[in-house]
Structure 1
Amino acid sequence: MTRVAVVTGGTRGIGHAISVELKNAGFDVAATYAGNDEAAKKFTDETGIKTYKWDVGDYDACVEGLKKVEAEHGPIDTVVNNAGITRDAMLHKLTPQMWREVMSADLDSMFNMCQPVIAGMRDRGFGRIVNISSINGQKGQMGQTNYSAAKAGVIGFTKALAQEVARKGVTVNCIAPGYVDTDMVAAVPEKVLEGIIATIPVGRLGKAEEIAHCVKFLVAEDAGFVTGATITANGAQYIAG
């Protein structure tokens, strides 16, 4: 039986790697994106994975987008909430808009993407949800009160929803990546990036494919006893107790 998976922010960076990993594992993958049409077209041309454009911070857009995916692919068994943004500034310089944009994309999206599909997963007795948090949602990061708060909220959301649906055959887990070699990290000034790498015991940035491997494990048919968990994938930069 082919499972249908939706990967948000699925055309670039970690999302790109997750989409390809799941396709190679036999999933029928639908990848969402927010605005970069050129990157989305290139992604589809290279991978054959169909893309869908909507704002994961908009509940109505998620409802309509998920309905379209189900109409074209079938019932959604798996959701990977990977989409996220940063709007960094020290709190005294952070604007309400910068706060709201990050909360919308990084935290509201958890509700927006899960609530429309959770009833179907419960009814069918199977579902896999993986939410992508961050090392900075675990330890905090100066200049990222908005991002750290949102990503910490992702972990709390994961734990609560996991308990709600555990008896229905639905698992809900979280991955908290450290610094991964993506466009977002590449935008960090070189000297700052060197300082970050110096604090990572394995001595390098993570690879998007390494996060994708974690996702593949969590969404597997035989991973049903793993739920409510947060996998830290950060090269031992931060070890959560």
Structure 2
Amino acid sequence: MRLQDKVAIITGGVSGIGLAAVKKFVEEGATVVVADFNEAAGKELEVAYAKHERPILYVQTDTSNRESVDLLVQRTVETYGKIDILVNNAGITKDAMLHKMTEQQFDDVININLKGVFNCTQSVISHMSAQGYGKIINTSSVSGVYGNIGQTNYAASKAALIGMTKTWAKELGRKGINVNAVAPGFTLTPMVQKMPEEILAKMESVVSLQRLGQPEDIANAYLFLASNESDYINGHVLHVDGGIMM
């Protein structure tokens, strides 16, 4: 029970990596608040855990909208009295080659993947600072480290998260707040599973372990960085990519 008595907000928590993290955190003793824009899936998840020893609270949230984020944080504090962990997992893709990418595609991805993380983190830090403790985990990507064809917007947002992570680690470490990032590789989320088999095979071929990641692989990294086992890790980018060779 590595997260016993901890209160965690997980954004983008109704599917894929986020959902795996929700399940993992609950198993490890955390009280979890799921922030996601998908109200139907969020309510379904809340109902599924309604009779659990640690029920889940779902709050519909648009992380790109500061008012929406502030309401999420307010409701969490009003319900549970504190926030110990923030997992900035929410993200979207709108891929296109540079010469075809629209301004709207670029802005949409930046607003969720980058501004959304800024909004959520800035909104929780006063509560974490007041208690002298907090764990903030940002979800970057191997695309933000190596770049990726057709992902100008996505790679830019994920590279920027690394810079923000290192900056916040320096600003917030003295207040007892650890800020780290996870850089997942190719992971078998529902979106990836819909890709043609030949594309999946090509993705596997550049991974030294010769397999794609499972959402649970990334959730385990979140768990480690959220737990007391990582108390002396700050400003780090943890690559969870199976040894990708790009």
What is the percentage of aligned positions where both structures have the same residue? 37
* Aligned residue among 169, 174, 185 for 1:167: 174
* Aligned residue among 24, 32, 36 for 1:33: 36
Q: Secondary structure at the match of 1:87?
A: coil
> What is the CA–CA distance in structure 1 between the aligned matches of 2:210 and 2:87, rounded to whole Å?
28
1:134-149 alignment, distance < 5 Å? 134-149=141-156
Matched, 1:45 2:52: no
> What is the CA–CA distance in structure 1 between the aligned matches of 2:157 and 2:106, rounded to whole Å?
9
Q: What is the number of residues matched between the two proteins?
A: 238
The answer (yes or no) to whether the contact 1:135–1:238 under 8 Å persists in 2 is: no
Instruction: Supply the AA of the counterpart residue of 2:60.
Output: K
Unaligned runs of 5+ in 2: 50-54
> What is the CA–CA distance in structure 1 between the aligned matches of 2:25 and 2:245, rounded to whole Å?
27
Q: 1:238 to 1:173 in 2, by over 3 A?
A: farther
> What is the CA–CA distance in structure 2 between the aligned matches of 1:68 and 1:81, rounded to whole Å?
17
The aligned residue for residue 10 of structure 1 is 13
The aligned residue for residue 228 of structure 1 is 235
1:133-212 alignment, distance < 5 Å? 133-212=140-219
> What is the CA–CA distance in structure 1 between the aligned matches of 2:132 and 2:79, rounded to whole Å?
22
> What is the CA–CA distance in structure 2 between the aligned matches of 1:180 and 1:227, rounded to whole Å?
25
CA RMSD of aligned residues (A): 1.4
> What is the CA–CA distance in structure 2 between the aligned matches of 1:41 and 1:128, rounded to whole Å?
26
> 1:51-92 CA distances to partner (integer Å, 9 max, x unpaired)?
111111111110112111211122111100000000000011
Q: Secondary structure at the match of 1:94?
A: coil
> What is the CA–CA distance in structure 1 between the aligned matches of 2:42 and 2:130, rounded to whole Å?
33
The answer (yes or no) to whether the contact 2:16–2:190 under 8 Å persists in 1 is: yes
> 1:189-231 CA distances to partner (integer Å, 9 max, x unpaired)?
3322221111111111101111111111111124221010000
User: Which has the higher mean CA deviation after the structures are superposed, 131-140 or 116-125?
Assistant: 116-125
> 1:132-182 CA distances to partner (integer Å, 9 max, x unpaired)?
111101100010000000000111110000000111111000000001111
The aligned residue for residue 24 of structure 1 is 27
Q: Secondary structure at the match of 1:91?
A: coil
- Report the TM-score when normalising by structure 2: 0.93
The answer (yes or no) to whether the contact 1:5–1:80 under 8 Å persists in 2 is: yes
- Report the TM-score when normalising by structure 1: 0.95
> What is the CA–CA distance in structure 1 between the aligned matches of 2:210 and 2:44, rounded to whole Å?
32
Unaligned runs of 5+ in 1: none
1:32-181 alignment, distance < 5 Å? 32-35=35-38, 37-47=39-49, 48-181=55-188
